[in-house]
Amino acid sequence: MKKCYFFIIFIFFLTFSSNAQSSYVPGEIVLKGNIENALIFLLQEGIAVKTWDSIEKDIHYIVIEDAKKDIVSLVSKMNSSVQGLVFAEPNWVLTLKDIKPPKDPYFLSQWAMENLGQDSPTGSQGKPGADIKMLKAWEIAKGKKEIIVGVIDTGIDYNHPDLKENMWVNEIELNGIDGKDDDGNGYADDKYGWNFISSGREKPYYGQLGHPDPMDDNGHGTHCAGIIGAKPDNHRGVAGVNWNVRLMGLKFLNKAGSGSTVDAYRAIMYGIRNKVDILSNSWGGNGKSDLLLYAIQEANKNGILFVAAAGNASSNCDHKDFFPANYEVENVISVAATDNKDQLATFSNYGSQKVHLAAPGVSIMSTVPVAQSETAKFAYQAFSGTSMAAPFVAGAAALLLSSDESLKRKPAEIKKRLIDTVDIMPHLAGLVLSQGRLNMARALQNEINPIRKEGKVYTREYEIVSPRFNEELVDKVWEIHQPDAKYIRLYFSSVIADIPGIDVLAIYDKYYRLVFKFDNQYPQGFWTPWIQGDTLRVRFANALVAVEFVEEKEFPSPQDGFNAGAKICFIDATTQKTICYLPKQSKPFANFESEGFRIEKLEYRKDETQNAEKKD
């Protein structure tokens, strides 16, 4: 038997040394069942057996002389012909498929790619697994040069050593005549994109406003570009989401980081004209522009995904708009930011309806212009913001397109895929529509979360009416239990409480974890997010309030009145008395002006998997 073992080990190494050209060990069969009948079958087939042995009582392996024999066909025939055989199969070769981290010096600082619990670049300890599962995603796809991402921002340092291999290059203009529109796209000398800043330029550049050089003089755009496509595994700096991609520089923000609506519009239209697949937008404001809305709608018609940062004002975008993230066009995907513990960033905007998903956005290491650094070796910094979260999603969309060509020019389907495949985070329910953080590996495999899957929804009438105009302090919790439910959501037919500021209305899961806190009134009704579990709790509390009023009082002199806290004093011209007005406050009493809330029904989904198992 020693000879046999040596042979198996030799074949094992031989198989790996030949780059595992076969998926099984040549000449070997593993079977369970009657070994005698199997040996007789092989003898009848004229197949010489070199040796055989038993692994366990009724599990055996056979080594035949002919190492070139098609074992797959042979075992298929054995399974259909040999009596007393439970199964026969090849001795399959198994390999380690895990991809190694890229050889980039700062990769360990890129917690968003692989979070082992290491400190972030700014020193915050991480939570293992709070990342977008980039290494697993790279086992499936690494990107393609055919995918174009337009970075609408402060420009890109297209000479950066970590970016230049993945820059979009207009070869016709690069090799053309200066001052001539060689490719006929309406822009002369646009080699890496275009600088759309028109303010301060006295005359157009050969017929077009702006300038052909989109070089970044701020740093923001280059940082976003690096997240999408800094070249991995090149022994330089950082790794972007895509090993291969083309980054188009669409500069409309100036050195100070500001720009105009008209220039942003022109940047979008240039991207459309030059057939970008994705537009990454880490900018915005509260003013709505019909011009920008039109441009985004045109991008949608041309099959372009428009990724937008949700904003950094810690506000609810469901109630306070932030554009362009809040434009309600099907190709717009709005992105909030999370930290290295999978918590919503303290600065991030949010919104259960209008912010679609979260992505890493705190202490993100990426590229910055070489001109702003001592040397190219140190042209890397850590930034924070939803500005960093958005390019993670833009990069994810690019990687997804490189893996699944059926999604080409279908931005709504890409958006749905990214939303449906997030890592669900209970604490993000009510904060983002998807209730989760980007998972690149799940997106590539289309591994849809149970909470997003289509399934039967059951409805149950369930009425709760809170105390109204109560003259006493209220702090009450209602427990709602639905047997067999895997997910529950509630319908509030009205919420007219003093929210925010005085009253508290919140929903907790079965483990008393805060899932959703109301920060606005909903007189027309509101569906809560889906909440995992068969139990949830609703808490309503009012607060002590006091009424401020002014007391009129006589004092010996104005100074005495001011010393007593008066804000206004005067001497009556008729009586010569000093009259002062002192601010006063009533004793605290319960807020009785709140109409509270009413719940009318709930919806739930069952665990259909368990039900199917019970039937079986």
Q: Active site residue: 160, 211, 220, 356, which one? A: 220
Distance CA 496, CA 491 (A): 14
How confident is residue 491, by pLDDT bands cut at 50, 70 and 90?
Answer: very high
> By C-alpha distance, which of 357, 351, 333, 358 is closest to 411?
333
Q: What percent of the chain has pLDDT over 90?
A: 64
**pLDDT for 170:** 95
Average pLDDT, integer, range 282-290: 93
CB 316 within 8 A of CB 351: yes
How confident is residue 4, by pLDDT bands cut at 50, 70 and 90?
Answer: very low
Strand partners, 59: 32
Average pLDDT, the chain: 88
Per the annotation, the verdict on 484 as an active-site residue is no
**pLDDT for 317:** 94
Nearby residues of 453 by Cβ (< 8 Å), 6 or more positions away: none
**pLDDT for 351:** 92
**pLDDT for 543:** 67
Query: What's the DSSP call for residue 596?
Result: E
Distances (CA, A) of 479 to 50, 272, 352, 529: 70, 52, 23, 17
> By C-alpha distance, which of 529, 548, 528, 530 is closest to 599?
528
How confident is residue 471, by pLDDT bands cut at 50, 70 and 90?
Answer: low
Average pLDDT, integer, range 316-340: 96
Per the annotation, the verdict on 220 as an active-site residue is yes
HSE-CB for 251 with a 13 A CA cutoff: 32
Distance CA 159, CA 482 (A): 60
Which range (7-21, 77-91, 293-307) has the least confidence? Answer: 7-21
Average pLDDT, integer, range 504-522: 83
26-47: burial string, b at 16+ Cβ within 10 Å, e else: bbbbbbbbbbeebbebbeeeeb
Per the annotation, the verdict on 387 as an active-site residue is yes
Q: Comparing 329 with 448, which gets the higher pLDDT? A: 329
Distances (CA, A) of 336 to 396, 473, 516: 15, 36, 16
CB 394 within 8 A of CB 278: yes
Q: Evaluate if residue 613 carries a pLDDT over 80.
A: no
Q: Write out pLDDT tens, residues 10-32.
A: 323 333 333 334 478 889 999 99
For 20-38, the three-class secondary structure string (H helix, E strand, C coil) is: CCCCEEEEEEEEEECHHHH
Nearby residues of 154 by Cβ (< 8 Å), 6 or more positions away: 216, 217, 218, 219, 220, 221, 222, 251, 253, 254, 255, 257
Q: Active site residue: 387, 402, 466, 594, which one? A: 387
**Where are the extended beta strands (E) located within 16-104?**
24-33, 49-54, 59-64, 85-92
Which range (21-25, 85-89, 282-286, 328-332) has the least confidence? Answer: 21-25
Taking each helix axis from N to C end, the angle separating 261-273 and 290-301, rounded to the nearest 10 degrees, works out to: 10
Q: Evaluate if residue 294 carries a pLDDT over 70.
A: yes
Average pLDDT, integer, range 157-181: 96
Q: What percent of the chain has pLDDT over 70?
A: 91
List helix spans (H) across 233-309: 261-273, 290-301
Q: Active site residue: 131, 153, 157, 318, which one? A: 153
Average pLDDT, integer, range 222-228: 98
**pLDDT for 267:** 97
Vertex 275: Cα angle to 219 and 166 (nearest 5): 45
